[in-house]
Amino acid sequence: MNEKNSRRKEMKELLSGLSKPNYEDYSYKIARNLYNHEDWKQAKVIGVTISKQPEVDTYQIIRKAWESGKEVVAPKCHPKEKILTFHKITQFSQLESVFYGLLEPIIEKTIEVMPKDIDLLIVPGLAFTREGFRLGFGGGYYDRYLPQYSGKTISLAFDFQVIPQFTIEEHDIPVSIIITNDEVITIR
């Protein structure tokens, strides 16, 4: 098993050990830190994944975005082409469970939104360094999406998901900000 995979396994175990009260508490604190951030306040169109426990809860973030008059776009994976597209959602019923129990926009019920039209992208990951590099879930979807995206990027993480280091590869693109339950790490 290579270093990245053993890190992934380690982090998944830590995440699955998170109690429900702590999961709720940390997710709430992360969301609050996000709402206070200038990039969130200024963004009109926000790209965000539909979380699956034990990832940081994004349902409350999506509701908050709708209540604040922001547009929400959610990712759809295309496994054959190994690419992501983002589609505007206005209600949770526009989502369906596709593979691995992940919820994604129903293509027929949503409109695709281009990378240039997304102001803020919330980039998922399993682990992060303080330099903004992320260890993804291994599909490489965001590694392929980020080079064509020029808006702002933020990652949400529980404090223990920020680790000293892991092997960085040439194609790795750091995010600009990492928001945890304890702090806001501004990378550049």
CATH code of the domain containing 170: 3.40.50.10420
Q: Is the pTM of this model over 0.85?
A: yes
Instruction: Report how many domains make up the chain.
Output: 1
Q: What is the arithmetic mean of pLDDT over 113-138?
A: 95
Question: Nearest-5° angle of CA 154, CA 28, CA 44?
Answer: 45
pLDDT for 60-88, tens place per residue? 999 999 999 999 999 999 999 999 999 99
Q: Are 142 and 15 in contact (CB under 8 A)?
A: no
Closest residue by Cα to residue 30 from 119, 173, 128: 128
Q: Considering the chain, what is the average pLDDT of its residues?
A: 94
Q: Are 76 and 105 in contact (CB under 8 A)?
A: yes
Instruction: Provide the residue range defining the domain that includes 179.
Output: 3-186
| DSSP H or E stretch at residue 122 | strand 120-122
pLDDT for 34-70, tens place per residue? 999 999 999 999 999 999 888 999 999 999 999 999 9
Instruction: For tokens 């590099």, name the residue.
Output: 133
pLDDT for 137-164, tens place per residue? 888 899 999 999 999 999 999 999 999 8
